[in-house]
A and B are shown apart, each in its own frame.
Chain A
Amino acid sequence: MDDQSAALASAFPPPPSFYKAYTADATNALANALASSELPPNDLACLLPPSPPDAGSGPDDRPATYRSLGHKWSTKDILPTLKDLGIPELFSNASSDEAGSDPSYRVSELKQLTKSLIIKYLELVGVMGISPEQFPERVEEIRIILINMHHLLNEYRPHQARESLIIMMEEQLERKHAQISKAKHACEHMESVLASLDTITSADPTQNGSDIKESQSVEGERTRSIDSLRQNSHASSVLGKQAKDGDLLVWDALAPKS
């Protein structure tokens, strides 16, 4: 048994000793035993997975622990308070865990702890010069200050996580707004192009063709309908060229959208 717990505690534990036991015969025998609702025989019991660690039903119950990779883990993710770890708290911890507490107290506490840390170090250096045998006390104080600082920082983590979430959401919102305005712009452009095409294709054919003067002007060519172009295409070579120009105009109008 000692052997086993030592194996579990190592950082890279070997495979469990029973991994060879999962033969086809053994698993079949186990399934049979379970099907007949008997307690499996002892040599098969180790093939059954252990029940999950009890998470503790009440809110005050200490959550169950399990071992993995050489460490003991709690089934519930909680940050143990310094009191639980037996380390004196150097900051006023009136409302550290309660929702709505003002996190700015941590900032001032951290600043004070930094100053204490430097002063303690100065003391330590001084003591080392005068009476070196007094050093353990100072080192212990420095250790406690450092642990306290780290604890405060870890308490700050959820706050920072929320803050990062807010920043990410703001960025996302910005991206979406940019996409919307782009889509809007594209739609408007397309609509205007389609509208100008409409005026070309739906213009009255009788207005064009016969009136060459008008069709020579840019405006005339713009409103020249393709139907009328088809009607006039058999006419003079001048008209044929104009018809070609009219086609080009239509394709020019389409070009930016296609």
Chain B
Amino acid sequence: MSDRLTQLQNAIDQLAVQFYSAMHYLDTHHDFVPLDHEAKVSDPQVAVDDPAVFEATKLELARDIMIKTRQIDLLIASLPGAGVSEQDQLARVRKLEQQLSDAETERQHWLARQNELLQKCDSVILQLAQRKTEIETARDPAV
């Protein structure tokens, strides 16, 4: 998933391609209209579509172009950070930087405290284990 700007760029490119393909379809699939008293011309390059099909395809192409345009409009409207000036952004970045470094200090503090407690815990466990052995040997000197 690319960012919105790239999506918008791609959508615009696709719209241009649609322009071309719609034109190309009209050029290569249209029917001919005979002039007065003349035979209807034909062109081997043109594959004449059935009028109904031709109309339907035309409608579809037009609809596709409109949908793409709506998509572009939507993407433009949802561009990130519209209405925020560069100064605002930089101020926000600086504030976040400060907050991040504050949070980092706090994090280090708590990590140190955690280690401290862990060591304490270790010593308590060792102490208890030692006493447990003492109790067991005292209770049952034979073992």
Which A residues are within 8 Å of any B CB, using their own CB?
99-104, 106-107, 110-111, 114, 117-118, 121, 124-125, 128, 142, 146, 149-150, 153, 156-157, 159-160, 162-166, 169-170, 172-173, 176-177, 179-180, 183-184, 186-187, 190-191, 193-194, 197, 201, 226-227, 229-230, 233-234, 240, 243, 247, 250, 254, 257-258
- Cβ contacts B65-94/A at 8 Å (1 or 0 each): 100010011001101111111110110110
- A-B contacts counted at CB < 8 A amount to 155
List, in ascending order, chain B residues with CB within 8 A of A118's CB: 65, 69
List, in ascending order, chain A residues with CB within 8 A of B106's CB: 180
B-side interface residues, number (CB < 8 Å): 57
Main secondary structure of the interface of A (DSSP, over half): helix
List, in ascending order, chain A residues with CB within 8 A of B124's CB: 194, 197, 254
- Cβ contacts B94-119/A at 8 Å (1 or 0 each): 00110110011011001101100110
CA distance A170 to B103 in the complex (A): 12
- The smallest C-beta distance from B91 to any residue of chain A, in angstroms, reads 10
- Taking a contact as CB atoms under 8 Å apart, the answer to whether A107 and B77 are in contact is yes
- Taking a contact as CB atoms under 8 Å apart, the answer to whether B128 and A173 are in contact is no
- Cβ contacts B114-143/A at 8 Å (1 or 0 each): 100110110011011001101100110000
Say if the beta carbon of B16 comes within 8 Å of chain A.
yes
Say yes or no: A180-B79 contact (C-beta < 8 A), given A121-B19, A160-B4, A240-B139: no
